[in-house]
Amino acid sequence: MNSGVLKLLYTNAFNDIEAARNCQVTISQKEMEIQMININSNYSSYDSIYVSKLKKQSLEQEIANIKNIRNNHINSAIGYALTIADNEIQENNSFSIAAIVIGSITSFISSVKGSCNISIINRTNLSLLSSKLLLSGIHMLQLRTALQNLKLACDML
């Protein structure tokens, strides 16, 4: 794979990670709004409790939609990173750019604390790449470690 394509994959992966982070910020804000509604409902009349419940349900639906969008961005970033990793394995690169991207993705997934759904395609590709690296020795240790950490963050071990 030429360097222009790799650079595009790298850029796209980080753009998706950033988009996922932005989604997570919005999710946190919506969750805070729900907490405020819960607090206000303790001091409200019956009529406003009904309105509060409607607002809360609406926010919960928004959160679910944003989580789906966030998960799509995460899956896209993982797909790009695994494509870069596969290329590095094929070319037998000693320095791994994929490990950097995968590390950033892993860090984000860990911060979200298990509420991310990783696609079956990414899970399969992650397992396949990990298997390819089992006998790589110390040569591709950085990439192998990054993939193992991603598997841990995705609850695949």
Domains defined along the chain, listed by start:
3-153 (1.20.1050)
pLDDT at 19 over 90: yes
Convert the pLDDT of each residue in 21-63 to its tens digit. 999 999 999 999 999 998 887 777 766 778 888 999 999 999 9
- What integer pLDDT is reported at residue 46 of this predicted model? 67
3-state SS string for the chain: CCHHHHHHHHHHHHHHHHHHHHHHHHHHHHHHHHHHHHHHHCCCCHHHHHHHHHHHHHHHHHHHHHHHHHHHHHHHHHHHHHHHHHHHHHHCCCCCHHHHHHHHHHHHHHHHCCCCCCCHHHHHHHHHHHHHCCCCCCCCHHHHHHHHHHHHHCCCC
Confidence at residue 92, expressed as pLDDT on a 0 to 100 scale: 84
According to the model, what pLDDT value does residue 149 have?
94
In tens, the pLDDT along 86-135 reads 999 988 887 889 999 999 999 999 998 767 788 999 999 999 999 988 87
pLDDT at 157 over 60: no
Q: What is the pLDDT of residue 138?
A: 76
Mean pLDDT, residues 69-84: 97
